[in-house]
Chains A and B, each alone.
Chain A
Amino acid sequence: MSDYQPLKLYVPEPEVRPGDEPDFSGVDIPKAGSVRRPEIDASPEEFRDLAYSIIRVLDRKANAVGPWADMLSDEEAIIGLTDMLRVRAYDARMLMAQRQGKTSFYMQCLGEEAIACAFRKALSPGDMNFPTYRQQGLLTSTDYPIIDMMNQVYSNESDPLKGRQLPIMYSSKEYGFFSVSGNLATQFVQAVGWAMASAIKGDTKIAAGWIGDGSTAESDFHSSMVFASTYRAPVVLNIVNNQWAISTFQGIAKGDSATFAARGHGFGMPSLRVDGNDYLAVYAVAKWAIERARRNLGPTLIEYVTYRSGPHSTSDDPSAYRPKEESDAWPLGDPIERLKNHLIARDAWSEDRHVQTKARLESEILQAQKEAEKHGTLHSGGAPSTRDMFEGVYKEMPEHLRRQRQEAGV
């Protein structure tokens, strides 16, 4: 006779579903300024607790407080705010363009703007990002031409990628933005390899890998951690935890215990958790980890705690799986509002300047859109040639492709 009860499979569920009251009481949010700041050469053993806390700079009164504050001048913080406003305006325009049938697909970074925008500012020229599809802020906060991003989204005759890639899968070597794959997590381990090459060559450039909470479940995440820690690669490994992987809540990728940042502990990797909606905190943590990598002190794992305010993509409807009010209830607030309030509190900004800047950016985006549309949209106007479809598969076109191009009549 066995005294064992039949086993039961545990399947995690989010706290709430559509129709329920949003509930983030389970998200433990420490006070701004309360998390200490280790020296960059400190042993990861000394600050393991930072993987379970949240590094925050902006408090509820919009003051910048604690050991991670005071890193940006007024001017730099204003640029940060402008960068976030620009990418939000860009997203809004392109989302509408998709709704108008001008392209097939779009993905916003609504609510997550601080992460890519602030991280970009902490990098140096020649560093390389291996982004996911939600880091357009890495491009829009440089002087990369917005019109070229639109041309790519439209797959028009001026698309830098000649219509070969799904909208938003940008690529720019010059701007340190590796070609977005669309397959999840594959780029994370490539970032580690890029960084290893930098070390092999004796260079001083570093790499940044990007991944979402959901795709940390991929084996490529584990591979990345193994290679990065074994070879102490000069790489910053960024997990954007926006709570949702399409319709799947983050508990499916990691269960109920620990945090994504804590996954670094098994690899002896410095692991930090940061308020992803706090531009100043993101910048400070990015700067810390990038400096660490460039000083040959090895990789850092960072989890940005944020919330995906919009749908996963234009093909998604979140009202089917989460309460509509959940976004507003997100306890870390909106990154733009928070930095704006901080700059006003600091006497470096005003409501008027904010309204004017927002209007100016929206007008610039609109202007760029008009220019881009002169080169066509997905279904009308100038388009990449069918001949281009056969180019660039290999460096030199092999005989079989030459024959197929002929067969296609181009």
Chain B
Amino acid sequence: MTLTSFSFFAFLLIGLLVYYMSGKGQKYVLLAMSLFFYFAIAPATLRYRLKLCAIVFYVVFLTYVGGLLIDRAKGKRRTILTFFCIGGLAAVLFVTKYFYNIFTGIAGLFGNPGAFEWLNFGSVIGVSYFILSAIGYLTDVCWESYPAEKNPVNIGVFVLYFPQVISGPVTRFSQMNSQFCEKTGFDPDRISHGIRRMLWGYFKKLVISDRFFLIVNAVYGDYTAYSGWQIFLATVCYALRLYTDFSGCMDIVMGASELFGVSLPENFNAPFFSATVQEFWQRWHITLGGWFKDYVMYPLQKTKGMIELGKKCKKRFGKKAGKKIPFYLAMVVLWFGIGLWHGGAGYYFIASAGIPFLLMLLGDVLSPLFEKVSNALHIRKESGIFKTVCFLRTNLLLCFAWVFVCAGATGRGFRILGHQASHLLTGERSVLGNTTLQALDLCLMFGGMAVVLFADYLQYKGKSLTDLLDAKPFALRFLAVNAEILVILFYGLVGSSAFIYFQF
């Protein structure tokens, strides 16, 4: 089962029917659906399913029992217990994500790389996300934000809720639990919005995203044949691809969740309209950044050590400069954590943590300089031109990060950058040369992207495309939605039919 498969829609439809007929028992339906979904999206081998069972049971049990125990403990014991439980949860992440790589690497050094094959769990879907949600819950209980949940079903639904289990968003118990426990009445408007959101996601993913990917693959697959300028274009294509793919996936899951009357937190807020790199990370993968800020950075900053450091720095370097050092230190920890979460592999670390961190550092250090320059040139900060320049600057800078992701390896990333510098304008073939893209595809990609950016611009201004259409007469809404559906039907890259084969 994938998000574009028939079984997913059948699953949703049946689930919806049961859900709206089950009155008070709705959250049990959600739990059942979530369990079913989680096993359906995973490989179907018995061994793997047993592994999943173990993980699911362990995580829900630890979260539920841990919460209750933490709530009853006092003082230092409370904190220690919390760390213990969080450690237990984080252990799942380590074992499924890192242990195999680390130990195999070490064993390889000793000439026996196969020694730790039994640790090869393979990646387990969703673990990166729901473990964070669970850790957040335990931390909240420790901080007395709310009492521990006494009903294990509520914990189960919160942790395993199916729309978010594949790739987030990372949720907080306080925002989700009340929604799960409230009875949702059948509201056609909400269903309509849910479906429209899903369609929007499918449009982004199937019509736009996969086409950009063809360019990225062609150029990065054989980068020496392209000029620096062309590689840059391919990098931009990657950014557009990643955005439409990820946010499209988010739209699909959030739309699906909407069908059940449950609102998930937004993960994107017009990220390409960011004036600074810092702002970008507040608009991109919002729930992840938010989670790390609230549960890693803030607790760190509030420790005695950091506060003392801040005081000392202020004394030595004055107020402004003194603030910077603990700030940068906190940033390093934050970005290290995010890099680790993304997989810990060298190039991913650099792309998702190293470069953003450097860029934010640079931005911070150079901001007084920028101030002086823009004042000298009498540029108004509120002007549209200035803002647009800032948006472009931010996106350009981030391309450095994307290069490493596309390259797939640290060394390769540097080599590509080097190639770009040395072969800025000399390339052997056109960007579209090795792809099957036609004029029509380009229209779809760029036309589609224009619509997406327009919708994002509305979002940036605090409005939404949905509201805009809702305010118009039904006929216009009908045209817009059905035009979208037809584009997806005719031009969505959904693969080819297994039933069509030719005779000879």
Q: Do A and B come from one complex?
A: no
